[in-house]
Structure 1
Amino acid sequence: MEGLYDSFIIEISEDNMAGWLKQIGKNESPITKEALDKYIEEHGIVYGVIKENVSQVIDNRAVFPIIIAKGTKPQNGENAYLLPIFPENCDKSQDENETVDLREVKKIPSVTQGSIVGKKVDKVDQVDGMDILGNEVKGKPPRDFILRPGKNTRVSDDNHQIISLIDGQIVAEKKVIHVFPVYEINGDLDLKEGNVDFVGNVNIRGSVPSGFKIKAKGDVRIHGSVEGAEIEAGGSIYINQGVVAQGKGLIKAHGDLHTSFINQGNIHVDGDVHVLQSILHSNVSAQKCVYCYRGRGNIVGGKVFAGKGIVVNEAGNSMSTPTTLFVGVNQHIIEKEAYFKLEIEKSKAELEKMNLLLQKISSQGSDQDLSPKLRIMKLRLRNTIRETETNLLDYIESLSESEEIFDEQLNATVKVKRTVYPNTSIHYGKYKRKIISKHQSVVFKFDKNEIIFDVL
């Protein structure tokens, strides 16, 4: 054993998932299996010993340092999720190498009454691991959710499918699928049509000039361009020919934004922003990701924020135009999280009061024994309770999504596939890194209170 202590040391990784045998001096005496096993055990290593590597040490075949024990890493669970089922006539996802036709009029996913428009994919439980010291290492448990009907949809008897109640167009959210009727304008939005406020999907087969307002409960699809208009969608927004806003107006969506380019636009979406060509001198905010890499794929000037990450071909330009990229959690998400927490507490308190009142009314007898006034009150209470319970689920799921963004903020990255130019600034909260020289194909990340970058 003396030869082992004098000639070798065992180093264990910080996470206790691996152990290495390192040679620190010349070993004159042969090493027996019993002695090496005891030496390993004295360091607390009781799991994951690699027998083949131990044999190499005993037979003098090892190249040091050699790993002698390796733990089993845990496998995180996979969250349950809602999978939309679009009909065959809807948009297909496009390969990034395909030629992009900006004039293409995309097909709209329409369904008929009784169609299955979504299904729940069940969660996959986590698998726990173990470190080399014999400690269990827990995997991250998956999140489940309750499948609920959206507007004009119902849940199947097996609680795993969403079925449309009407003919219409699908609007898919993260945990809910709606089917909305359609309001369509066959041309540009003009004074004859006026502003649009519709509880459904809006489809405009032309352009939207400055000064107009569009508000839709579902998706908004614009086949032309958008100038300095105000557009708000409960679902996603699709603009075929881009945004030319001259710093005016606001485009806001609960879902995603898909467009060919954004020039001097103001964008705020709760989902992702997908841009085919360029984002120029604009203020763009996405709670999830900003993607701008399919065509030219450049971001020049302005400010672009993304909660989960940015993927772009070029950031800035050869003229060193100031360009600012933010990733991580912003104040808007913090405020929304506080709002959801408050609404959850209020909803729980309201449900408690209403259930007590319902019990009090029910204790006076069956519906036939109650006075007409009490019967109406009981019916209204039941409806209000159902509505409050639905809202409570919405708030809980929205809070869960906000917490996911907080969990993932440290893993947010800025991927620049081609070139990042000087005078581009990368921000992670209060931390900032200003680019002073040109770099090719890099990814920026946050590590130990510092913004670093690696080659892609």
Structure 2
Amino acid sequence: MVTLDRLRIDLEKQLQIDKEITAVEVIGDTLDECLADAAVQLETKVRNLEYEVIEKGFAGVIGLMKKPWRIKVYENPSLIQKKHSENSVSAESNSEEIEEIKVVTMDGMYFIRRFGSNIFVKVTLPVGDGNPVNPDDLINDARRPDNTRLDEELLKKLAKEGTNDEYVEVGDYNHISAGDAVMAVDLAKDEMQATITVSAPAAGGSDISADRIINALRTQGVVAGIEEDKIKAFVDTPVYNVPYEVAAAVQPQHGTDAYIEYKFETDKSRLKLKETENGQVDFKELNLIQNVVAGQPLAKKILPTRGRGGKTIMGRYLEARNGKDISLPLGQNTVLDKDGCTILAEKNGHVSLVGDKINVEEIYEVQGVNIKTGNISYMGTVLCRGDVEDGFNIKADGNVEIYGSVGRCNIEAGGDIVISQGVMGRDECEIVTSKSVWARFIQNAKVTAEEYIVVNDNIMNSDVTAMKKIVLKGKRASIIGGKVFATEEISAKNIGSSGGGIETILSVGYDPRKKQRLTELQEMQANLVKELEEIELNIQTLENNKKVRRSLPKEKEESLNNFIAQKSDLVAQNEEMTKEIDEINERLRELKVVGCVNASGTVYPGVKIYVRDELDEVRTETKAVTFFYDNGFVKRGKFDPSQVSDVGGPDGYSAN
């Protein structure tokens, strides 16, 4: 018996389901066009849609009297319930990761249909906390005056266990063929769709079964694209007197074209500015350079895919287009990897997309280093056509070539540094290189080179260090003020100032790094020798005990073996240290001979010359002189132009 409470509960549940259904109203020239538009709006497939015709369209006659279709479209309620069910199952599978899971609740449902002369029932089980099908409700709905047999016990069982999404026979009825539902099958002229239009059955008539729909389609020649899910949905909830899609062509899947997947930023406008610690934009760090190293992947070609042909509902083949291939954008200093698809950098440098080619440029060229470029950090050679303005820095793995001048800047290079117009550091400039420095002049700066420093005019009030030689050339080749150190040689025209008052210190004839390393090695070797003596004493003690006792306990035997192994390691370390010490001493002995200061012009009073650790302080003007080391003293000799080294030009100089 259906009570008011039961009816209220059912209505509330149905209202909840109806709230989940989103409907849209669309207008189009054809029904298919309307459904396609609605599918996009509802973000689903056409086969999942149900619709109501508001205004039936008319194609017109020769373009006249044309009338558009107007329909209200919504997603199939049973599919919405199915989605809820799937979401519930998915949520349960993630229960270990999610503390609180929202369980989708859906009541069980039943459908009663009459196919042929038999009564069939389909029962779905509840989901979550949903209520199961009430057996009494199912039996009451299945009862009809024209029934001849109804298995109520089976109905009770099915209400409890469900029918596994199938229709199960539960009885018979007085079938009147004249009252059967009438179905018409309509095939689109382009064979892309098949629809059915069904009229409701009369009293005693049979419903349309899924098998009947499928057989009718096959009879009409439909062999592909039969949508069984839609057919089942129609059987459950029939839509009468309007076209209903039951088959659709299998659309061809066109292949995707090949494309390049870049592993660097190709759009310079998307390169981000660096921020300081307080979150402000640092306009000196513009990040315009994308450095890469040799062997680094730059891009990869994603190969085209082959298309998959489709079929019309009548089985006619629909051709699919294969994806188009493209050529690889190999440019300067790039190579192809073994896979034939990955582009690698052949050299260190700056990667960029020029036109349609990927280039790795070893030389990064700018007109000047300033607010437009920001600081430059580059894995190659930097070529600056203008000045490096105050406050901006350059760091390069290769050479740094500057056609202009350098102000209060820091410049660091792995190769040579060439500065055409000189350095005006104002005591806030530091230049460091692993090779050599060439400059017109150096003023108020700190310069360190692992090889040579070559200056045309003067070095003034600067701290300059070269691990090999410092050579000043030209008519005004002068060293005035500051500290200048070279391991092998310092050569200039004039040294010091005629007016005095400026401290000028020159040092040659020793290698401070080698000297420091020698001291470290000698201390390490002294400690190692002490450790060797202790281990040797322990070995002798244990071996003597072994001779007296003929054997040692297991622990002491292991100790003896460990001491012998340690001795072997320490002896090897000592030999390596001795070899390095001998090499350093040989180098220092060589510097006794080559360490000298050459002045082709004048050395002014007040200049201090250190050769090795010995000092010669110049007290009177001295002309055309060479300072060198001999028997513990700094001696002076006549300047010989042939003694001045010719260091050549910059290595790998690339300026044109």
Q: Using structure 2 for the length normalisation, give the TM-score.
A: 0.33
TM-score (norm 1): 0.46
Q: Which structure has more helix as a fraction of its residues?
A: 2
Of structures 1 and 2, the larger Rg is shown by 2
